[in-house]
Amino acid sequence: MRTTCGLLLAGALLITGCAAEEPAGPPLDMRHTTRDLMAGMIDASADALWDAVGTIWDENGENHWEPETEEEWLAVTGAAMTLIESGNLLMLGNRPRDDDQWMVFSQEMIDAAAVALEAARAQDPEAIFDSGEVVYNACNNCHNIYWVGDEQRGRTIP
């Protein structure tokens, strides 16, 4: 497709011919890069999930938190949904780095977030906590292969 377009663009008269060959599809707005999605949506949603349930021990003893209100559960549910949909977004347009392993990792993120979604729908704090590790591994597996040549790598990932 790219080659055809290049050739057609070389002849000014045929530019419309090239446009006509664009694959039909919904008019997607692809303004966000993979990095944009990571920084603006995916990381925030993962944080919402990872922070939803926890326990710390300090001088006052054990301090445990988990979602309590419907609103708090809805927020966790939304975070899991956003991660699932983000996996779809990573597979769209020119975002995939290849048609193979990238797709597998994106799907793994979807599957991991689906575990979190199920836990959120069941309002099960322990399952939410456990799903955090599954999600973390899905992020990490892709980063190990594709997040390269970046000195800051990992700095914003807990």
Q: Quick one: which segment of 6-14, 51-59, 62-70, 132-140 binds ligand HEC (CB under 6 A)?
A: 132-140
52, two tokens = 């939803």
Task: Spell out where the chain has E strands.
Answer: 54-58, 61-65
Task: State the minimum distance, in angstroms, from the CB of residue 7 to ligand HEC.
Answer: 30
Told to check if 138 binds ligand HEC by CB under 6 A, we report: yes
Q: Quick one: which segment of 15-23, 37-45, 54-62, 114-122 binds ligand HEC (CB under 6 A)?
A: 37-45
Distances, alpha carbon 47 to alpha carbons 28, 68, 142, 148, in Å = 27, 18, 17, 22
- HSE of 134, CA atoms in CB hemisphere, 13 A: 19
Residue 30, classed as helix, strand or coil, is coil
Residues numbered 72 to 111 that lie near ligand HEC (CB under 6 A) are 83, 90, 102, 105-106, 109
Residues that bind ligand HEC (CB under 6 A): 34-35, 38-39, 42-43, 46, 83, 90, 102, 105-106, 109, 135, 138-139, 142-143, 146-147, 156-157
